[in-house]
Structure 1
Amino acid sequence: MFNQVKCLVALILSTMIGMSAFAQTNPAANYPNKPIRIIVPFPAGGTSDVLARLLGQKMGEAWGQTVIVENKPGASGNLGADIVAKATPDGYTLLLMDVGTLAISQSLYPNLTFNVDKDFAPITMVAYSPHLLVASNKMPFNSAPELISYAKKNPGKLNFASAAGSGSANHLAGVVFAKQAGIDWAYIPYKGGAQAITDLGAGQVDVTFNGMTGTYPHVKSGTIKLLAVSSAKRNSVIPNTPTVAETIPGFLTGSWQGILAPAGTPTPIVNKLNAEILRAMKLPEVREALKTAGADPYPMTPQEFDKWLNAEVLAWGKVIKDNNIKLD
């Protein structure tokens, strides 16, 4: 009997040691075992915020853990991105933002406190939603050609809301549009798209480009008017709305949302996050929510997302250099 007890104790100890060793070699084994933070570096109500809360809810339900969305606006998204870049790389602090804006920062800010290539572990792209070219209802134009005609007849009169601040993807969309259309307008910086759209509805600013997810509900409510969509082809949600490219050939911009972790996050945890987010993106209610918001799911492996992000850094760097864009 004593020998049987010894054997049982030895078996239990051996199992515990094996489980401990497995947990050490596979850090994703017990992940997550505490709340996860998703940092959104823009105010509540914008595209990134909407998607973070949608996916965070599904992740929390699947894992039985609280997923907290924290809005940390400032410096065109760089403030929140910096928080994540410097966070402990354990998978419990994530970043969800317009990765076009993140890619732009590398070329626009000479004293950036983080390196886009080195300080993040890409997890996956989430969705693409085109920018909507929208205007205040007080404006006399109702299409992109009418906007251009009005701006040429009234030089310097229009102002453009830079929905996520100077140097954001929204701002650069306005810069490229104005340059290719041969017009000029003043840029009014905002910390996020939600406040820019609110002021547009109140007639305090005249026109902007902003992500469809955060903007289209305001178009449907009639508080602002829709002029054009920035996708390569007409959007299925708004098939009667022309693309900007029908007026300015080749014009293409949009809001690319992605999720990243701090560099050094263990690969098994990155892969586990990738698998769970991609699973959530396949849920009918999530796909329907994305479609309703005018966004297309854009799932990627971490490797594909890393390659895409590096390409975006180079592409936006060229736009900034070619247009001699500098922060005031």
Structure 2
Amino acid sequence: MLKQLWVAALFAASSTGALAQAWPDKPLRIVVPYPPGGSSDIIARAVSQPLSEALKQTVIVENKPGANGNTGTDFVAKSTDGHTLLLCDVGALAISPSVYLKLPFDPSKDLKGVSMLAYSPHLLVVNPSVKAGNLKELVALSQKEKIDFAVTAMGSAPHLAGVAVEKATKAKWEYIPYKGGSQAVADTVAGQTHVVMNGMLATLPFVQSGKLKVLGVSKKTRVPLLPDVPTIAEQGVAGFESGTWQGVLMPASTPPAVVSRVAAELARIIQSPEIQQRLASQGAEVAVIAPADFGPFFERERAKWAKVVAEGKVTID
């Protein structure tokens, strides 16, 4: 009997290894559940070609925006082709169960974490016409006149970060919802809205070109690319930190061998000197988390933002 069990285990291991080597046998899709131009889209396009070369299959980046990222996420959660990946803001995904009364998927049960890839803090930025040079002045201004706060997506991490700052400082924002960070930033650049919080990766170029004015960084320490910009914590919101976490997930039915192979390739790709340097020049940090650590991270993020959601009484029908 022991010999039979040993042979069965050996066969299972060899079958698993063979599956990982045989996969993929057709092109892959990386679904980004937001419009083009945002942080997740930037990361997806940075890793797609190297991943294609590593797996010897075409890798297509497909934007599926809608319902604050839930449309594309639901598409991947229900995918059965074994060749569809989700690349999104994992922090925002962890928020969804707290803010949506109904979700067509359960991120903890229907999706399997593959690898975290990158992190970038949020920047609090304003249109250059806004007469405020720091957070304190912006708060004072908001108490005197209407300040439109562009929301990258209702219930997103930047939205809840704005809610947390509003409550801590007694600011008064008028939230204007958008379908993604790129559109929210574009309207703030155009002067349609006054303020936006968004991932540094997608927002820094507008700061560097003078199209947006940065008032604060949502990190515990100042960032090297903006050494003169104080953190939001420095400006009176003690301990405040938020950011955009880009990660890859696959449907829960994906075989562990496939998850392990994709995770290993992505970790190698994202940590390559070329991509690390490219991300660092835009204010993002490589932040690899293995599949085994993905679940605990997700639950910590969910608990963190659930508290903000409850305190801010944020719900989306």
- TM bin, normalised by shorter chain, reads over 0.9
Shift of 1:313: 1.6
Q: Is the 8 A contact 1:212 1:295 kept in 2?
A: yes
3-state DSSP of counterpart to 2:125: strand
Say which SS state the counterpart of residue 38 (structure 1) adopts.
Answer: strand
SS of residue in 1 equivalent to 2:108: coil
Q: Deviations over 1:149-198 (max 9, x none)?
A: 211233xx0010001x2111111111111111101111100001111111
Q: Decide whether the 8 Å contact of 1:39 with 1:84 is kept in 2.
A: yes
Tell me which amino acid in the other structure corresponds to 2:241: L
The answer to whether residue 161 in structure 2 is matched with residue 168 in structure 1 is: no
Distance 1:172 1:225 in 2: 21
Report the count of equivalent residues: 307
CA distance in structure 2 between the partners assigned to 1:26 and 1:314 by the alignment: 39
Aligned to 1:104: 95
Q: Which residue in 1 is equivalent to 2:109?
A: 118
Task: Compute the displacement of 1:222 (Å).
Answer: 1.3
C-alpha deviation, 1:316, in angstroms: 1.5
RMSD of aligned alpha carbons: 1.8
Equivalent in the alignment of 1:203: 191
Structure 1 residue 327: deviation in Å?
2.5
Query: Are positions 1:53 and 2:31 aligned together?
Result: no
Q: Contact between 1:73 and 1:80, CA under 8 Å: does it hold in 2?
A: yes
Q: Deviations over 1:214-259 (max 9, x none)?
A: 0001111111111111011001121111101101111111101110
Q: Distance in 2 between matches of 1:145 and 1:183?
A: 9
Inter-partner Cα distance in structure 2 for 1:313 and 1:117: 10
Counterpart of 1:221 (choices 209, 220, 227) is: 209
TM-aligned CA deviation for residue 22 of structure 1: 4.7
1:178-327 pair list within 5 angstroms? 178-247=166-235, 248-327=237-316
Matched, 1:88 2:77: no
CA–CA separation in structure 2 for the residues paired with 1:46 and 1:62: 25
CA distance in 2, matches of 1:66, 1:258: 20
Write out aligned runs for 1:41-80 (5 A): 41-80=33-72
Q: Which moved more, 1:25-34 or 1:72-81?
A: 25-34
Q: Which amino acid aligns with 1:77?
A: G
In the aligned structure 2, how far is the partner of 1:202 from the partner of 1:67? Answer: 34
CA contact (8 A) 1:89 1:261 kept: no
> Match of 2:22, SS?
coil
Tell me the SS of whatever aligns to 1:226: strand
Query: Which has the higher mean CA deviation after the structures are superposed, 62-71 or 124-133?
Result: 62-71
Gaps of 5+ in 1: 1-18
The verdict on how the C-alpha distance between 1:31 and 1:218 changes in structure 2, with shifts beyond 3 A counting, is: same
State the one-letter code of the partner of 1:32.
P
1:131 aligns with 2:122: yes
> How many percent identity over aligned positions?
46
1:102 match: secondary structure:
helix
Q: What SS does the corresponding residue of 1:29 show, helix, strand or coil?
A: helix
**Higher-Rg member (1/2):** 1
Contiguous gaps of at least 5 residues in structure 2: 1-10
Contact 1:38/1:68 (8 A) holds in 2:
yes
Partners of 1:23 and 1:29 within 8 A in 2? no
Counterpart amino acid of 2:27?
P
Q: Residue 25 of structure 1: CA displacement?
A: 6.4
- Cα pair distance change 1:150/1:69, threshold 3 Å: same
